[in-house]
Chain A
Amino acid sequence: MTRTLTNSIRRDIVEAGYHCGGSAHFGGGLSIVDLLAVLYEKHLRFDKNNPLWPERDVFILSKGHGVLGYFATLKNIGLISADCFRTFQKNGSDLIAHPVLNLPLGIESSNGSLGQGLSFGCGIALAAKKKLMHRRIYIMLGDGECNEGAVWEAAMFAAQYELDNLIAIIDVNGFQNDGPTAVVSNKADMAAKWAAFGWDTIEIDGHSTEQISNAYKCAENATGKPTAIIANTVKGKGVSFMENNNEWHHNRLTEKNYLIAIDELENSSD
């Protein structure tokens, strides 16, 4: 079931990215699809008929440029209508290249300036604890985003306040805007860093449905510590010419490439 969902999300990414008529963030949108599909299908507690349900869990896309994967997931899960989704990157749309707070659409915060989502999530998680509410807060960050110092301020805070209802999902696709993360600024072991800051860490293949689901289950049972899921992914996953090709971090699809991508996804065994 999830496999069908992920394929549908990927096709929607390509459709929206092509039909917007301009450049879009394909690579980092495709890398997070499996993580989001499993989360929204099986773990995140929400009511698509009542997006403002006060007891809901919260997901925040701190790596805001991953919106293609995010919006396509919200569309497939029923929070964003097909008509709305088709407005992606059109003038005046609610759906632009970074998330803009829109609770009726299930978009919980405005992002785009990297390194801010985890702090915001810490606040929501701490508020839930103070109000004795059993809500979980999921924050998705990029490995490039972890260059930002504010991420580590928030990491210290979450451990200090024992926010075991906070789950950071780190999309380790190995690239950032200017190239491989190992070349630009982030050579050291990602899991070791989060562990050193006092977090429980789980390292997984970010495209394995089973590993993803097990990681969420494990995080949901955390006590006394926040959990960082270090998800190793492939940037551009699912479209052969985009995979591990950083030219597709932010790029424009030609008609020829669009048709190749759609053909690949329609014939994919995934």
Chain B
Amino acid sequence: MLVMLELELRRLKHDRTELYTRSVQPILWIVIYGPIMSQIRAIPTEGIPYTDFITPGVLIQSTTFVSIFYGLTIVWERDSGILKKLLVTPASRYATVIGRSMASGVRAIFQVLIIIPVALLIGVRFLPNPLYFALALLIIFFSSGGFAAISILIASLMKTRERFMGIGQAIIMPLFFASNALYPLKMMPPILQEFALFNPLSYVVDAVRSLMISGDLTSLLLDVGAIALFDAIMFTIASVSFKKIIE
């Protein structure tokens, strides 16, 4: 399982273009959208500057992007013979799926490490607590695994890259907008609030926001529990569907 993380690190060592290009969008959110919207002061952020408020949301959105599109790598590995070969190794199917999923977490962490310096430059005040920061990274790492498992699931259902791209987009944007990434859940219409309750992205954003920005840890346990449950469910479903991917 760990070897898949190592594989990902080695790939990043050789080619980091994707990380840089993918960081353009979140940086725009933080550098342009955040400061402009904060002029309005219409969104109740409980005393947190608006740009600071959305920074965790934007971070998570970008790492979720990385994870959801990680399935493209899986599609490529299916089109080449790599997945077939992996299925013929003694490694278990679960280890393969979880390992591949968590590998996207490696990418996500590096993505975060690119965006944070930009956020610091723009004046976002992170909590100066290394322990909290490390915990936040860990949460991002594990939640990325869950989203990548969704992506593996999609990959096993969608047989072409084009369809995959379409579905990927169609999943990410609703997750993003129906979450607390850009505004508190309280502001949403009631139906959307119900939906957000089942949106794993909300829990991740909430956890990372409390650890990086607000320092208010009251709901942290609930968040971590929700993320763990989400991961467990996604890993199981993705492992079951994984056999289908190569038939």
Bound pair: A and B?
no
